[in-house]
Amino acid sequence: MIQQGQSLPQVSLSLRANGETKQLGNSELFNGKKVILFAVPGAFTPTCSNSHLPGYVALADKLQAKGVDSIICVSVNDAFVMEAWGKSQNAEELLMLGDGDASFTKALGLDKDTGAFGGVRSQRYSMLVVDGVVEKLNLEAPGMFEVSDAQTMLEQL
């Protein structure tokens, strides 16, 4: 599992915007930037839609005021689902990125198998990434939502 002080693995994520799907790599997403990256087990799922994503939407301006260049939400979903979920949540200030084959999530060592519920998904976490290096990592215990929320990240900045 990735640890604080380590560089993120070189894996691309999918963004759907303006009618196009793009693959974005580490250099575009993280090089020379201060980034909040948070991951959810699934788009449109209860805790993710009712609490996790809305918290980052609500605090985006305060996080950016602390020098954050971008806020990225990742889920093991395709870019189309992430785009639709972002629109439904008014997440214009966030990058809603799909990890369709879970390659990014697996490379981080933060994957979990949910079996028939949804297969391989991401664990719930947030991290502060500065120039591609993990400075803070807030990993939730299974079934919990206590440390990866936007307010905790704001307090850590």
- The answer as to whether 52 is a domain residue is yes
Residue 140 lies in a domain: yes
Strands 13-17 and 95-98, by their bridges, are antiparallel
For residue 44, is it within any domain?
yes
The band of 66, judged by pLDDT with boundaries at 50, 70 and 90, is: very high
Assign residue 100 the CATH number of its domain.
3.40.30.10
Instruction: Show the tokens assigned to 2.
Output: 């990735």
Domain-located, residue 1: no
The verdict on whether 48 is a catalytic residue reads yes
pLDDT at 38: 98
Domain annotation covers residue 3: no
8 CA to centre of own chain: 13
pTM: 0.96
- Retrieve residue 105's tokens: 């999530």
Strand runs labelled E in the chain? 13-17, 20-24, 34-40, 70-75, 95-98, 111-113, 120-122, 125-130, 133-139
Give the pLDDT confidence score for residue 39 in this predicted structure: 97
For the ranges 45-49, 92-96, 104-108, 141-145, which has the lowest average pLDDT? 45-49
Instruction: Note whether residue 115 is domain-resident.
Output: yes
- Is residue 108 pLDDT above 80, yes or no? yes
**Parent domain of 84:** 13-156
User: Quick check: is 141 in a domain?
Assistant: yes
Residue 95 pairs in a beta bridge with: 72
d(CA 144, CA 157): 22
2 assigned to some structural domain: no
Mean pLDDT of the chain, nearest integer: 95
User: What distance in Å separates the CA atoms of residue 8 and residue 105, rounded to the nearest whole number?
Assistant: 11
Q: Which of 43, 48, 71, 82 is catalytic?
A: 48
In the chain, the number of structural domains is: 1
